[in-house]
Chains A and B, each alone.
Chain A
Amino acid sequence: MDFEDSPHEAAYRATARDWLATNVAEHKAPSHADDMAAARSWQARKAAAGYAQITWPKEWGGGGGTPIEGVIFGQEEAKHPVQYGYFSIGLGMCVPTVMAFANDDTKQRFVGPALRGEEIWSQLFSEPAGGSDVAAIRTRAIRDGDDWVVNGQKVWTSGAHYSDFGIVLVRTNPDVPKHKGLTMFWLDLRSPGIEIRPIHQMSGGSNFNEVYFTDVRIPDSQRLGDVDSGWKVALVTLMNERLAIGGGGGAGPADILRAARELDGADGPLIKDSAFRQRLADWHVQTEGLRNTRMRTMTALSRGQTPGPESSIGKIIAANQLQDIGNAAVEAEDQYGIINDPALLPLKGLFQSAVMNAPGLRIAGGTDEILKNIIAERVLGLPGEIRVDKDDAFKDLPVGR
């Protein structure tokens, strides 16, 4: 066990730190019209220097680095206000799926632009009929010559309104059990027949969408994997999803500690309140535990092991803790905590924003319940859920809302 950088890692960190110092300064100099423009230019800058996807091979524009180097760069980058979320679904989930299943021409065409932030990708899996039960989706694709004709509806599609491309899971055969009749495609989100309608979230923002398909034609050449083998492809995406997400972001123990010095408790500053201190300790324990758990995963990766379903614990802990910390701070503000105006609030409303965004985090990318099933079944080897729909043709399955 060694929690310090090795000489090589220390050198890598120093180089990354210098690079960031220079480049963040230059990046901020031109005033970007909007957040997206700033994000794209920062991504391009990172890609040129091999910092966009550090663990990807150099031939694909990556950094050819180790998982630990990826972590080191991430730690250093987090010290600057240059983290943008626009590319994470594409680079973390969609493009790796394309890289695993598409032909060389397709890979050549898409990997570079995605890496440089020129093109953004979405993941079109969830539907009104299938979220946790992804394989229950109904969006239908029917073969017509060299094309497939797609009709149906996707939902909760993050970033679809600003995305260029997507990977979409559709049903190609309703006469077989649900997992056996799915096929995956990549598609241009500006294809005729696609309509993207932003959804208003409870948090007030609008990051996800409904996507409607009306006679959308997708060429068979855009298929990822074999016909009716889409489930296998989706599993690859979902596996990468668990590694890509899982913790970080939002209010943490350090923030609430800072706030607690200024907030008043019943008998003086909140930080003197013993009940509050006990909870603060537990949050620190969880945050540190998660951080070090991630590093254990990276250690395993750098020894050539594959990351297992263990990564699921990250999101369970982080999302719940975000909700708890946000709420604890809001309640500590007493009546004032009702306010949700960043201009009037401690740390610009960080805690109120935690309260309003945490519910989505506990659902997106696998709900708490589904993640616990995954741990129970795949890590601990407990029996799978009873599947009443495993052998019946999809078209015969009962439906609710």
Chain B
Amino acid sequence: MNFDYSDDQKMLKDEARKFLAARCDAKVVRSVLDDDAKHYDEALWKSVAEQGWLGAAIPEEYGGLGLGHIELCAIAEELGRACAPIPFASTVYFVAEALLLYGSPDQKSKWLPKIAAGEVIGAFATSEGKGPVTARTLKTTVVNNRITGAKIPVTDGNIGNLLIVLAKEGLYLVEGPVNSEVLTTLDPTRPAARVTFENIHAERLGDEDGLTAMQTVFDRAAVLLAFEQLGGADKCLEMAKEYALSRYAFGRQIAGYQAIKHKLADIYVKNEIARSNAYYGAWALNVGAAELPLAAATARVAASDAFWFASKENIQTHGGIGFTWEADPQLYYRRSRQLSLVAGAPATWRERLVSQLETRNAA
């Protein structure tokens, strides 16, 4: 048993942190937030591709580094810490994972090398309106390999040129550009769009039932997202701590007041619970353990809870300055909302967790 990164993985993670500290400071994140026409940072995207991160978990035969999912988790944690404004999650956790799971040999050799090289931006289009997508609400259909329907919101749907779309008949690949309309969202550093398909060409991906396949992709993405959330939550704790140590009120550092100390201790406790659950999820994902659905839901709920709490209490610790556009806590507050919802809300994951528990305990 070993519940930690290996030395090599730690080294990779350290390098990723240093790299992102140099290439992705708050200015880079803000350049996307402040500019309505800019949806991600292309320079960062390019350099991340050059590092090979997009293909970290893609086998070498498809142009990836062929490392493994734990390495990808380590990278995800650092991208979350840096609040990176790039379509990494959409492309790697959703689209590349879906291709690895369900792609035919042809589909894999056509798309995975392009993903690894950063030539393709992916988007995973499932939602069609308020609330979780279900068999009852799903309307998009495919007839004779032509897809019709509307998806809202699709993260990176406005920049993606390879979409995987959930239709009644299953998952489908759609090549962009597609008909999209940018939406105003809580986190403009990860844009979203309404995407409409009017009888356009779509290629079947795998032969699973669509909702089942979507959930299987979500399970994998949930673990990876949990690491981004964890990285973000850790960054919030660090920011809150630094600020509390440097701000004085009533003649003392506010970090000396117990209400602040206990708040930060609470953030720490939630982050550690999230970290431990994320590690378990990483292992389950990496070895393809049967526990993956339960481990993923556990990691996802813990990480969503930790990041939400850390991001809101970080603002509170900053006081008035924390509520300004200029201060950085808002970047993480926005991102915490985006990451908690992108693969389904925490309530949906709690429900999934309990249904997994029920199945396990019934067996």
Q: Does A257 contact B (CB under 8 A)?
A: yes
Given known A1-B279, A4-B1, A281-B353, contact A372–B298 (CB-CB < 8 A): no
Cβ–Cβ contact B244 & A382, under 8 A: yes
Given known A2-B1, A257-B361, A376-B262, contact A285–B277 (CB-CB < 8 A): yes
Interface residues on B, range: 35 or more
Q: Does B256 contact A (CB under 8 A)?
A: yes
Q: Does B265 contact A (CB under 8 A)?
A: yes
Q: Contact partner of B272 among A254, A257, A285, A293, CB < 8 A?
A: A293
Cβ–Cβ contact B5 & A278, under 8 A: no
B residues near A108, Cβ cutoff 8 Å: none
Type the 1/0 row for A1-21, where 1 means its CB is closer than 8 Å to any CB of B: 111111001000000000000
Interface segment out of the listed B34-42, B163-171, B280-288: B280-288
Nearest-CB distance from B356 to chain A (Å)?
Answer: 9
Q: Does A292 contact B (CB under 8 A)?
A: yes
Cβ–Cβ contact B272 & A284, under 8 A: no
Chain B interface helix/strand/loop/mixed: helix
Cβ–Cβ contact A376 & B264, under 8 A: yes
Q: How far is the CA of A379 from the CA of B238 in the complex (A)?
A: 12
Q: How far is the CA of A373 from the CA of B257 in the complex (A)?
A: 10
Q: Contact partner of B283 among A3, A9, A291, A300, CB < 8 A?
A: A3
A residues near B5, Cβ cutoff 8 Å: 1
- Count A-side interface residues using an 8 Å CB cutoff: 52
Q: How far is the CA of A372 from the CA of B268 in the complex (A)?
A: 10
Q: Contact partner of B351 among A277, A285, A292, A369, CB < 8 A?
A: A277
A residues near B361, Cβ cutoff 8 Å: 254, 257-258
A residues near B275, Cβ cutoff 8 Å: 293, 296
A residues near B347, Cβ cutoff 8 Å: 278
Nearest-CB distance from B13 to chain A (Å)?
Answer: 13
Q: Does A271 contact B (CB under 8 A)?
A: yes
Cβ–Cβ contact A278 & B350, under 8 A: yes
B residues near A238, Cβ cutoff 8 Å: none
Q: Contact partner of B1 among A3, A313, A375, A376, CB < 8 A?
A: A3
A residues near B274, Cβ cutoff 8 Å: 289
Cβ–Cβ contact A293 & B357, under 8 A: no
Q: Does A377 contact B (CB under 8 A)?
A: yes
Q: Does A316 contact B (CB under 8 A)?
A: yes
Total A-B residue contacts, Cβ distance less than 8 Å:
154
Given known A289-B274, A296-B276, contact A376–B70 (CB-CB < 8 A): no
Given known A298-B3, A373-B258, contact A289–B277 (CB-CB < 8 A): yes
Q: How far is the CA of A58 from the CA of B102 in the complex (A)?
A: 54
Q: How far is the CA of A375 from the CA of B2 in the complex (A)?
A: 24
Cβ–Cβ contact A317 & B282, under 8 A: no
Cβ–Cβ contact A295 & B269, under 8 A: no
Nearest-CB distance from B70 to chain A (Å)?
Answer: 6
Q: Does B203 contact A (CB under 8 A)?
A: no
B residues near A299, Cβ cutoff 8 Å: 1-4
A residues near B289, Cβ cutoff 8 Å: 3
A residues near B298, Cβ cutoff 8 Å: 284-285, 288-289
Cβ–Cβ contact A282 & B301, under 8 A: yes
Q: Does A44 contact B (CB under 8 A)?
A: no
Cβ–Cβ contact B279 & A372, under 8 A: no
Given known A284-B353, A316-B269, A375-B269, contact A296–B261 (CB-CB < 8 A): no
Chain A residues 91 to 117 lying within 8 A of chain B, measured CB to CB, are none
Query: B residues near A, CB below 8 A?
Result: 1-6, 70, 237, 241, 244-245, 252-253, 255-256, 258, 260-262, 264-266, 268-269, 272-277, 279-280, 282-284, 286, 289, 297-298, 301-302, 305, 347, 349-351, 353-354, 357-358, 361
* 25 pairs of residues in contact across A and B, judged by CB atoms under 8 Å: A2-B2, A3-B283, A3-B284, A3-B289, A257-B361, A277-B354, A284-B357, A285-B305, A288-B277, A288-B280, A289-B273, A289-B302, A292-B277, A293-B276, A299-B1, A300-B4, A317-B273, A371-B265, A373-B258, A375-B268, A376-B265, A380-B237, A381-B241, A382-B244, A383-B245
Query: A residues near B, CB below 8 A?
Result: 1-6, 9, 68, 253-254, 257-258, 271, 274, 277-278, 280-282, 284-286, 288-293, 295-296, 298-300, 310, 313, 316-317, 369, 371-373, 375-377, 379-386
Given contacts A257-B358, A372-B262, A379-B265, 5 further A-B contacts (CB under 8 A): A1-B279, A1-B286, A295-B1, A300-B4, A383-B252
